[in-house]
Structure 1
Amino acid sequence: MVEHRFPNTKPLADHSLDDDSYLDYFYDIPGSMPGTLNIESDASPPIIVLIDYNEAQAVRQEVETPEECVPFLDSESVSWVDVKGLGSEDILRRLGQVFSLHPLVLEDIVNVPQRPKIEEYDDQLLIIARMVTMKSSGSGFVSEQVSLILGRHYLLTVQEEPEYDCFGPIRERLRTGKGTIRKQGADYLAYALLDSIIDGFFPVLEEYGEKIEELEDEVVSNPSRQTLEKIHSVKRELLGLRRAIWPQRDAINALIRDGNDLISHEVNIYLRDCYDHAIQVLDMVETYRELTASLMDVYLSSISNKMNEIMKLLTVISSIFIPLTFIAGVYGMNFDPSKSPLNMPELEWYWGYPACWAVMLTTAFGLVYFFWRRGWFENLSTVVTKDTASGKHLPHSLMRR
């Protein structure tokens, strides 16, 4: 993992699930100057997209400089300025000047990752959220910070990465005028984006639900070292999802409870639905975490049962061959029958050798019959998976809740 160090901060890294950075939050070294911006060297250059709309129309344009947004900020229409990428300190500082951002607001926007939160300023409302999307490869997810600065007639959003985004349906509704979004103000747009961020957790959790189902089958039928690594990986990733959604739920709840002059009563009601979705996401995350923890127990039980199967099989084989070994050992002694009539007289019998085999086979089959009657050969595996040949299914206690 490549780390980029800055004078006043902890090491920064790519916030993907290739490392443990998704479990961390940004922090400054004690005593550093407030408002310091620390930008990663590999951060994407900012792309600024402006969507200005009213009930009649919506205009979308990509602007080169933040100053081009100034004429739209005081108009009666709603302006959504979407900034993707944090790779230019100059553009970000100019953006702060255009929107009159407090230095601490700009610091929270740029120095990622921050804990999701809601902060009120004179005429602005800062919302820090975590947005998760599945990787294009289909394995794992990407967690990035989205900052929303709500003004009276505008909304400024700043994203870490330009590649991952769940705002496509919102842009389409603005373009086509479907629904009531173009009839509402900037606060409704902020709600719509926040709701889209929360709803973006559901497809990710659906993928993890399928992973857990596959792990349930694997841990019962054929557990291995790789299975244990997969369970551990899923546990850590679910912990990352929990750390992303838990503070967002609290932040939305605080916004609903305390209210804000920039949020109308009607939009405040919509935020309750957003809060309800956050609760559902958190419940799903907690359920999956419990299932994953139980998978670890099932894995240990499966390994123990597999060892018991092996020991039982070896015990059966040993129990059969112990008397046979005894008989073979007795007749392997070098006593000369010609010296004494008590020295194994059966060695000189005409049917002595077949009689010995008959006794050994009778003993072996007798033990096998005895073990069979005792039920030793039944249910050698105490953990039964679905048998595609016989159509048997998992016990209900092991089926997914």
Structure 2
Amino acid sequence: VDNFFPVLEAYGERLEDLEDRIIVAPDRSAIAEVHQVKRELLTIRRSIWPQREALNVLVRDEVPNFEHDTRIYLRDVYDHAVRIIDLVETYREICSDLMDLYLSSVSNRMNEVMRVLTVISTLFIPLTFIAGLYGMNFDPDSSPWNMPELRWYFGYPLCIALMVLISAAQFWFFWRKGWIFAGKWDGPVLPVDPGDRSVTGPS
């Protein structure tokens, strides 16, 4: 039974590495490894559970062939089996939390991409309107209302300057609101007590 402790300690370190990978650069390989760890922990749980039940029977029932020292030893082994099952359940919960962390990381990165695309699209909306307005090609000779600014000497430079000014004003507004260059997201904090991950064998 005690041989499970170093195995679970290795799983604890493995889960810590997976958490760092998911926070820094979440990818499908990391979440696939989390699924694999969860399945392996389930296998360990299925292996230790019958042993715990058998030890429980030996500890609770009065077996005449067992001496007093043997019963004390069996109680100690039973306690170790219970601790192992608790650790397995804790690590399986951590695996579930890592899956939620992965989904949260992917969703947040997608939101960052969508925010950048939205800002870029918003910057070009007024520019597209101005370009479309002066691209209608009305003949100014037919009517004095047909875009008289097309005959201005500095009409084209003024139009370009207006478009640059509008873009700069929008960019400044987005920057003041914190919608761009607001800092890099560091990922959510996994709501798990770090003390639960340190696995030490019985003294």
Q: Same fold by TM (over 0.5)?
A: yes
User: Which aligned pairs between 1:306-325 and structure 2 lie closer than 5 A?
Assistant: 306-325=109-128
1:204 is matched with 7
Q: Aligned equivalents of 2:173 and 2:118: distance in 1?
A: 14
1:333 is matched with 136
- Contact 1:259–1:268 (CA under 8 A) maintained in structure 2: no
Deviation at 1:302, TM superposition (A): 1.8
2:169 is matched with 366
- Contact 1:249–1:275 (CA under 8 A) maintained in structure 2: yes
Distance 1:253 1:285, change over 3 A: same
Q: Aligned equivalents of 2:27 and 2:139: distance in 1?
A: 56
1:233 to 36, 56, 69: 36
1:281 to 73, 79, 84: 84
| Greater share of helix | 2
User: Which aligned pairs between 1:128-167 and structure 2 lie closer than 5 A?
Assistant: none
Q: Aligned equivalents of 1:399 and 1:225: distance in 2?
A: 25
Amino acid at match of 2:152: W
Bigger radius of gyration among the two: 1
Q: Confirm whether residue 217 of structure 1 aligns to residue 46 of structure 2.
A: no
User: Which aligned pairs between 1:55-134 and structure 2 lie closer than 5 A?
Assistant: none
**For 1:215, what is the secondary structure of its paired residue?**
helix
- Greater relative contact order (CA < 8 Å, ≥ 6 in sequence): 2
Deviation at 1:296, TM superposition (A): 1.4
Deviation at 1:228, TM superposition (A): 2.4
Amino acid at match of 2:11: Y
Structure 2: state its 5+ residue gaps.
197-203
Q: Aligned equivalents of 1:240 and 1:395: distance in 2?
A: 28
Amino acid at match of 2:84: V
- Contact 1:309–1:380 (CA under 8 A) maintained in structure 2: no
Q: How many residues align?
A: 194
2:46 is matched with 243
Distance 1:380 1:349, change over 3 A: farther
2:179 to 362, 369, 376: 376
2:67 is matched with 264
Normalised TM-score (structure 1): 0.45
Percent identity of equivalent pairs: 55
Structure 1: state its 5+ residue gaps.
1-197, 386-393
Amino acid at match of 2:108: N
| Greater share of strand | 1
Deviation at 1:287, TM superposition (A): 0.4
Normalised TM-score (structure 2): 0.86
Deviation at 1:396, TM superposition (A): 7.0
